[in-house]
Structure 1
Amino acid sequence: MGKWVFDGVEYATRNEMCKARRDRYVELIAGGMNYTQAARAVGVSKRTGKVWRNGRTRAGRRALPSVVIRYAPVMDESKTISPRFLSLTDRIGIADWVRLGWSIRGIARRLGRSASTISREITRNTNPDTGWYEPYRAHRLSRKRLARPKRAKVIVDHSLFVYIREGLGRHWSPEQIARRLRFDFPDNGDMHVCTETIYQAIYVQAKGELKKDVAKALRSGRTKRRSHAKGSERVSRFREPMVMISERPAEAEDRAVPGHWEGDLIMGANNRSAIGTLVERSTRFLILLHLPDGHDAEHVQRAIIDRMGELPAVLRRSLTWDQGSELALHKRISTSLDMDVFFCDPHSPWQRGTNENTNGLLRQYFPKGIDLGGYSRAYLDMIAAKMNNRPRKTLDARSPIEVMLDLIEAA
C-alpha cells in the first residue's frame, strides 16, 4: 500500500503523487479557475503553481518543464468583473432597446454610460451572419477577450516586431515609433500600438545580449523601468505604516520631558550577531538588549517589550528608531507598551544623536569585528551599569542612574 496520498488516492511514490497533483492543477486552470484558487485546491503555494506554468528552474537546479494549459473560451462566471465593464444584464437591455428602435444616446442615458461605449459595443459584437446584436453571444465574446494570459501583440505580429526593432536601431524613441506606425499604416489596426506597449516589450525582452542592444538603442541607456514616484512620496517598507520623526511631539525634541527613547543595534562580525541599545534622551540612561538567538524583527521586538516593560508607564512615552528591518514588528511594541514608535528619515543618523553617541562609547567594550553573540545578559547589564554610573557634563556631573532614580521615585 502506498504512503503518498492526494485527493483520497494513495500512490506508491512521491513522484506519482506530485504528478497527479500537477495534473489536477492543470485541469482546474483549464476549467476557468484562477491561479490562486487552483493552487489552494491542490494544496500548493502560488509560487509552486507559477513554476508549474512557466517551467522555471527551482532551488537545487531542478528544471521543470512548463505545463500545457488550454484556457476555456468562457471564464468562470463566479470571477468578479469590474463594474466598468458591461454586464450580461446590460447587454440584454441593449438588445431589447435596439430592437425597439431606441437611439444610441437614449440607451446610453438609460445605462448611465457614454454613447461611445454603447456604439462600440454594438459595432464589435453584432453577429455578421444575422446582422443582429445578440446579448449572450456578445457577453461570451467579451469574457473570452478578458482571458489571461495573452501573448503580447508585439510578439505575435512579426512584421510589427521587425518595424519596432528597426525604429530602435535608428534611435527613435518608443513614442516616435508609435506615432510613425499610425502614419505609415493608417488603415491597418494590427500595426497600431501605444507607447507603453513598446516600452513593456523592451523591458520584458531585454535579457542577455539583447539587453546590451536595447541599452544602446534607447537614449536613456536603461533596460529597467524607472519609478515615477516622487522622493517625498515614500512607500513604507513595513506592512504596518511608519510614523515619521516629524510627527514626534516637541517635548521629545527639547528633552524637557523624560520617557522618550532612541534605539539601534550595534553589529558584530559579518553582521551575524548584534546587541540592542536603548537610550533615554533626557537622562542618557542606557539599556542593553540581549539577542543571543538572532536580531530579526521577532527577537528584537520581544527583547524591547521585556526590558522596557520593567519601567514605569510614565517613562515609556516614545521610541525612535531608524528604518532597519529589525523593527518591522513595531506595531506590537507600540501596542504592548502603550508607547509611540517613530522612525527617522533615511540616511539621517543625526536624528538619533544621543543613541549614535552612546553606540560610539560602547565600542570601548565591544570593538568592531568581534562576535557579539557570546556575551551573557549579566555581562551586558554590567556594561550598562558602568555607562549609567559615569558622570555626564550634560547632567551637571550627575550620572544617568542618579537622574533616572529620581524620576522613578517621583513617578
Structure 2
Amino acid sequence: MTTIIFGILALLMVLVLLGVHVAVALAVVSALGVYWMIGSADVALSILGTTAYEALRKDIFIIIPLFVLMGDFVSRSGAARDLYGLCNRGFRRLPGCLGVATVMGNAVFAAITGVSIASAATFSRIAYPEMIALGYSRPYALGTIAGSACLGMLIPPSILMIVWAVLTEQSIGALFIAGLLPGLLLATLFGLYCALRAIWRPQDAPRGTEAPRAPGDLSREIIGGGTILVLIGIVIGGIWGGVLTPTEAAGFGAAGAFVLGLLRGMRVREVLEAVYNAGRTTAPIMILLITASMYSRFLAMAGATQVINGLLLSISDSTAVIVLIIFLIWLVLGMFIDSTSIILLTVPIFAPVANTLGLDPLAFAIFGVLVIEAGLLTPPFGILVFTVKAAVPDPTVRLGEIFRGAVPFWLLILFVAVLAILWPPLSTWLPQTYL
C-alpha cells in the first residue's frame, strides 16, 4: 500500500515538473489511484465525478470571481493611481518616500484585489516611471514593486486563503482576519526597509524628491483613495463585525467597485473586459479546485495522509524538525510551481500532519501562505518577477535586476513566516477576540 501511494505521488510530481498542467496531473493521478484501489474504471470515474459535482455545488466558489472582479473594476477606474498619489503625499517627508508609498499603496490595494499578480502589474505601470524619473535606482524601484506585491496574498481578501480554507474546511472569515496583523507587520517591515535603505544608500533613493502635482490632483486622489478605503471597510469590516458573510462581502465589494468605475468614466467595453478578465482569471482556479477535490478524495480513501504522517514522525519526533522539512519542501516547490498549485498539491497532506503535531490551524495557514508566497520571488520561476518584467514600460529592464532588488523582501517574508509559527497569537488573537 505504502509503495503504491508514494508511486502515485511521485508520478504526480513528475507530471508537474514535466510541464503537464497541474489540473490535468491531479485528475490523472486521482483517477489512477482510485482505479487501483477499487479495481473498476466505471466505479472510479463515478466516485470522482460525484466528488467534482459536490465541489461545484459549494456556494463558496463565488467568492473568488467576485473579489477578482472587484479588483479589476478598481484598477480600471483609475482609483489605484489616486491611491498611490495619496500615499506619496502622506510619506513625502520620509527617506525613500516613493518606495514607502509603493509599499503602503500595495497594502491598501491588496485589500481590494486579493491577487499579487494584479498588484504587481498595476504598480509596475504606476510607480516605476515615477520612481525612475526622480532618480531612484532600478533595482530599488523594481524590487520594491515586486516585493510589496506579495502583500496581495496575505492581507485579506486573499485568493490563496480562500483556496486554503476550501481544502482544509476552515472558516474563510477567520483566515481573512488571521492574516490582517501579519500582513500589516510585513507591510511595516517593508516600509522600514525602504526608508532605511534610502538612508544607508542615498544614491538608490534621492532625498527631497516628490513628483509634481496639478492643483486638482489632491481632491481627485482623496476621492479615489477614500473610495477604496470605504470598499475595504465594507469587505473587511463587514466580515469582522459579523454583519456579512465572506460571500456577501465579496458581492457588496464588487457592486461598489462597479459603481466607482461607472462614476470614474468606465465604459461598457471596459466593464465587459473586466468581466471577461475575471472569468479568465478564475476559471483555471475553479478547475484546479475541482481536480484538487478529486485528489483529496483519493488521499482520504488510500489513507495517504496517515502514511505520510507516520513517515514524517518516523524521521523525527521533534515538531521543529518536521516543520522545517515542510518549510524546505515549500521553498523548493516555489522555485518551479505557482502558489495555488503548491497549496493544492501539498496542503491536503501537510494540514493533517500539522494537526497531529498540535499546531494551531490558523497559525499554520498563515505560515504556509507566507512561505509559499515567497516562492513568487524565488528564481527560476518567480512569477511576480516575470509579471513586473512584462508590465514595466521599460524594455531594458533585466530579470536579474528585479530578482536582486527583491531579495530583502523575500527574507522579510520568511522572517514573518517563522514568527507566525513560533508565536501563534500573531495570527490567532484577532479571530479569537472578534469572531
Task: Tell me, yes or no, whether TM beats 0.5.
Answer: no
Q: From the CA coordinates, give the structure whose radius of gyration is larger.
A: 1
Structure 1 length-normalised TM: 0.18
Structure 2 length-normalised TM: 0.17
Q: Which has the higher strand share?
A: 1
Q: Which has the higher helix share?
A: 2
Bigger relative CO (Cα 8 Å, ≥ 6 apart): 2
